[in-house]
Amino acid sequence: MLSFFILAALASTSLAVKPIHSHNDYTRAVPLWDALNLSIMSVEADVWWVDSQLYVSLVFFAVFSVAHTSGAINKAITLDGLYLEPILGIINGTVSSITPISVENPLQLLIDFKSDGPTTYQPVLDALQTLRTGGHLTTYANGVLTQGAVTAVGTGNTPLASVVAAEPRDLFFDADILQLYSTKPGVGLEWGPEIAPLASVDYASVSSTAEMQQLVLNAHDFGIRSRFWDTAATVSTWDNFWSAGSDWVNADDLLAVSNAWAAFQS
Ligand SMILES: *[C@@H]1O[C@H](CO)[C@@H](O)[C@H](O)[C@H]1NC(C)=O
Ligand SMILES: *[C@@H]1O[C@H](CO)[C@@H](O)[C@H](O)[C@H]1NC(C)=O
């Protein structure tokens, strides 16, 4: 059930946000900083649960596996070392960043479960513990959604049933934007930002610009933000999304999309 307070919370945090999501982070050497240095407040980490660690890329895992098996786990390739520690440090002021992360300027952390969903779910929750203990995670508890400095959203193999069952809930779900009206998140439940702050789809599944525009409106009906991935990387494509009010344009070339957004606004 969509409450006025949820919509008010969404509206109050959406004003200054650049509508850009940093996709395919693992292809960059310093993905979190590439995004934050451009004030892009939505980033994505792929995670594999392997040998009791959450690795952000199996490619890196293969490269570093010699060091790994000899006992030295390279923090540069774990979710904790590459994302969660620096994020906590930026929030608590021990790590300097030109873009702050705060309740007023929150970061959306998309966690793409690449390994088996049910097996990976608890390790991801455990990894978020330091942010949780600090009170920094957006949380849904007792029917109230409270914005935190970090909104963690599971995608890929993230198990919806586990997300829905969690109380309190501080790992959310990336819904299928094509299915918001045809499915429910659970018995007696409706889609909303307290379950899925984000709804996405592969753009190849969208047949026309008109359908895309309708899907954005559908998501907004539920108080959910929209994202399309695997799109053409052209200024006119990005402008189309922004014209439709789509919230997160999926970007690989962050500088090019940032420049396009600046031009679109002026
Ligand atoms: C981000 O900005 C900081 C401060 O200006 C700089 O030290 C760092 O090298 C930048 N990192 C990237 C990846 O651009
Ligand atoms: C601040 O964040 C860092 C992680 O970057 C952590 O090691 C440290 O314990 C935190 N300090 C406080 C006071 O929360």
For residue range 129-165, what is the model confidence (pLDDT) as tens digits?
A: 999 999 999 999 999 999 999 999 999 999 999 999 9
For residue 81 and ligand 2, the question of a CB distance below 6 A is answered with no
In the chain, the percentage of residues whose pLDDT exceeds 90 is 77
pLDDT category of residue 52 using cuts at 50, 70 and 90: confident
* Lowest-pLDDT range of 25-34, 158-167, 224-233, 254-263: 25-34
Taking the CA of residue 86 as reference, the ligand 2 atom at the shortest distance is 5
What is the rounded distance in angstroms from the CA atom of residue 28 to the CA atom of residue 212?
29
pLDDT value at position 70? 39
Say how far apart CA 35 and CA 134 lie, in whole Å: 23
Q: How confident is the model at residue 5 (pLDDT cuts 50, 70, 90)?
A: very low
Cβ-contact 224, 175 below 8 angstroms: yes
Spatial CA neighbour of 185 closest among 173, 200, 201: 173
Domain limits, the chain: 4-259
- Closest ligand 1 atom number to CA of residue 37: 1
Q: Which CATH architecture has domain 4-259?
A: Alpha-Beta Barrel (3.20)
- Distance from the alpha carbon of residue 237 to the mean position of ligand 1, in angstroms: 28
The pocket around ligand 1, CB under 6 angstroms, is made up of 30, 33-34, 37, 98
State which amino acid sits at residue 226. S
Confidence of residue 31 (pLDDT cuts 50, 70, 90): confident
Q: Which ligand is nearest to the CA of 80?
A: 2
For the Cβ of 85 lying below 6 angstroms from any atom of ligand 2, the answer is yes
173 compared with 53, residue with greater pLDDT: 173
Which pTM does this prediction carry? 0.90
Residue identifier of the C-alpha nearest atom 5 of ligand 1: 98
